[in-house]
């Protein structure tokens, strides 16, 4: 895989100069073992400096559920272009640049020329973002970046105005939003930012690209707690839209440097030893799982975030985990998924968890009734 430090547009190979000096000064001509080890270090540094953040998910993750990584409605970028089942949307997508240019109001030809020049100047950097991309000419790739970038921008602009986009069909809009956070279905974030700066920024002086994208991210957010999207999040260090979602889910505290892997307990195990399970309503971050020790005669309580466990939940988590597994970012989502898997390992555990949540909801409704 080729390595762009998270969100960086430049490529630097670290430590190679120092290693070269060791090779010339400290390595004897016949010392092949040491030379081979030094070569391994150089190759490792080279991989880190040339990481490509958009790639086909490796089979060990993909084969579990291939549909979690394949676009359903619209293809973005080069990895899934020309899929037969997406042809209808390809024709519709071709109308979006015209819509976007109409929104902006500036001369269409002038704006398109500026977009083409901007993308052309970044074409090698764009190629470096994709691992094992199909062969495309520069012209084909430039056209694809602008077409897909305009589609995304017009989609999120419509979404920000109406909350819905396609033929008054919220589900279709949500399916498009889901396609836009698939790891294999991305364009570099800096390309989207460049096109935004040349188009919608003229209409959205007080809003950043991240602000517009927040509505899209909320559509695919499976957690009950609304997303807290910082409009000034560091987009220069963001790979793509999925990378932005990963940043939004990042906790606002540092992960412990060292941690002991705990023994896995299921919901049934916890119930048997008297641990209550209740929804976590006061989250410090969307995936927070908290344990409260017992006080006086009360029972210890495990508080977990409320989440809609459906196909969207699975797709979002699988793509975030795939991004974490092969990128230089923290594995917060994977840790949450492992904890959740421990709790609901069997249908019996799922039933117990549902019962706990239902009991909690009944108590809440009773308290509300007494209050009002």
> Last residue of a domain, which of 192, 220, 248?
248
Kindly tell me the burial class for residue 107, based on how many C-beta atoms sit within 10 Å of its own C-beta (0-12, 13-18, 19 or more): exposed
pLDDT band at 108 (very low <50, low <70, confident <90, very high): confident
- Of the pLDDT bands very low, low, confident and very high (cuts 50, 70, 90), residue 241 is very high
Query: What is the pLDDT at residue 106?
Result: 83
Instruction: Output the pLDDT for position 11.
Output: 39
Residue 253 lies in a domain: no
Residue 190 shares a structural domain with residue 289: no
116 and 15 belong to one structural domain: no
76-105 pLDDT, tens per residue? Answer: 999 999 888 898 889 889 999 999 999 888
Q: Residue 167: what pLDDT?
A: 56
Q: Say yes or no: 159 and 204 in one domain.
A: yes
| Section 328-357 average pLDDT | 68
- Give the range of the structural domain holding residue 63, as residue numbers without chain letter: 59-248
Q: What per-residue confidence (pLDDT) applies to 371? A: 29
CA proximity to 244, closest of 301, 309, 319: 319
Average pLDDT over residues 211-232: 88
Strand partners, 260: none
From 216, 248, 280, the end of a domain falls on: 248
In this predicted structure, what is the pLDDT of residue 295? 67
**Residue that the structure tokens 């490796």 belong to:** 58
pLDDT higher at 237 or 185: 185
Burial of 356 (0-12, 13-18, 19+ CB in 10 A): buried
Which of 44-48, 271-275, 291-295, 351-355 has the highest average model confidence (pLDDT)?
Answer: 291-295
Together in a domain, 138 and 178:
yes
| 197: in domain | yes
282 and 366 fall within a common domain: yes
Task: Confirm whether 204 is domain-assigned.
Answer: yes
CA neighbor of 185 nearest in space, from 338, 300, 80, 84: 80
169 and 113 together in one domain:
yes
Q: Which residues pair with 277 in a beta bridge?
A: 302
Residue 332 has pLDDT above 70, yes or no: yes
* Residues 75, 158 within the same domain: yes
Q: Is residue 327 part of a domain?
A: yes
Average pLDDT, stretch 245-269? 71
Give dist(CA 115, CA 303) in Å, integer: 49
pTM for this prediction? 0.79
Residue 251 has pLDDT above 60, yes or no: yes
**Residue at 259 is within a domain:** no
Does residue 23 sit in helix, strand or coil?
helix
Confidence of residue 291 (pLDDT cuts 50, 70, 90): confident
Lowest mean pLDDT among 162-171, 282-291, 348-357: 348-357
Measure Cα distances from 226 to 218, 220, 223, 343, 359 in Å.
7, 11, 7, 23, 23
What is the count of structural domains for the chain? 3
Inform me whether the pLDDT recorded for 220 exceeds 60.
Answer: yes
Of 229 and 37, the structure prediction assigns the larger pLDDT to 229
Query: Averaged over 358-362, what is the pLDDT?
Result: 43
Are residues 243 and 315 both part of a single domain?
A: no
- Say yes or no: 72 and 115 in one domain: yes
Closest of 158, 30, 162 to residue 99, by C-alpha: 158
User: Same structural domain for residues 184 and 275?
Assistant: no
Tell whether 256 is covered by a domain.
Answer: no
Q: Do the strands 301-304 and 290-292 form a parallel or antiparallel pair, or are they unpaired?
A: antiparallel
In a domain, 202, yes or no: yes
Q: Has residue 33 been placed in a domain?
A: yes
Q: Is 300 found in the same domain as 175?
A: no
Categorize the per-residue pLDDT at 366 as very low, low, confident or very high, splitting at 50, 70 and 90.
Answer: very low
Q: Are residues 198 and 242 in the same domain?
A: yes
Q: Is the pLDDT of residue 296 over 80?
A: no
Residue scoring higher pLDDT (47 or 100) = 100
Name the pLDDT band for 368 (thresholds 50, 70, 90): very low
């Amino acid at each position: 895989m080729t390595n762009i430090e998270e969100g960086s547009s430049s490529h630097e190979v670290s430590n190679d100069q120092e290693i070269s000096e060791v090779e010339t000064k400290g390595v004897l001509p016949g010392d092949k073992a040491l030379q081979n080890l030094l070569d391994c270090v150089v190759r490792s540094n080279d991989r880190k400096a040339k990481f490509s953040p958009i790639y086909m998910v490796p089979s060990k993750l993909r084969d579990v559920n291939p549909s979690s990584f394949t676009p359903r409605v619209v293809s973005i970028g080069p990895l899934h272009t020309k899929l037969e089942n997406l042809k209808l949307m390809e024709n519709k997508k071709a109308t979006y640049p015209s819509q976007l240019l109409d929104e902006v109001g500036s001369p269409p030809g002038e704006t398109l020329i500026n977009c083409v020049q901007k993308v052309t100047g970044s074409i090698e950097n764009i190629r470096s973002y994709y691992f094992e991309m199909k062969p495309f000419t520069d012209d084909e790739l430039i056209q694809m970046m602008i077409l897909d970038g305009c589609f995304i921008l017009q989609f999120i602009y419509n979404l920000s105005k109406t909350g819905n986009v396609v033929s008054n069909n919220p589900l279709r809009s949500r399916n498009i939003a889901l396609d836009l956070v698939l790891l294999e279905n991305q364009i570099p974030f800096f390309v989207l930012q460049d096109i935004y700066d040349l188009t919608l920024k003229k209409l959205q002086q007080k809003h950043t690209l991240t602000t517009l994208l927040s509505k899209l991210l909320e559509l695919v957010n499976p957690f009950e707690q609304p997303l807290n999207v910082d409009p000034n999040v560091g987009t220069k260090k963001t790979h793509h839209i999925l990378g932005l979602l990963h940043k939004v889910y990042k906790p606002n505290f540092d992960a412990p440097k060292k941690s002991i892997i705990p023994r896995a307990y299921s919901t049934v195990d916890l119930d048997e030893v008297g641990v209550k399970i209740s929804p976590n309503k006061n989250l410090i971050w969307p995936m927070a799982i908290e344990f409260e020790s017992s006080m006086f005669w009360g029972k210890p309580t495990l508080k977990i975030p409320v989440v809609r466990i459906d196909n969207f939940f699975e797709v979002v988590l699988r793509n975030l985990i795939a991004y974490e597994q092969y990128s230089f970012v923290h594995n917060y989502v994977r840790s949450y998924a492992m904890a959740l898997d421990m709790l609901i390992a069997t249908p019996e555990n799922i039933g117990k968890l549902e019962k706990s949540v239902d009991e909690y909801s009944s108590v809440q409704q009773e308290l509300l009734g007494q209050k009002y």
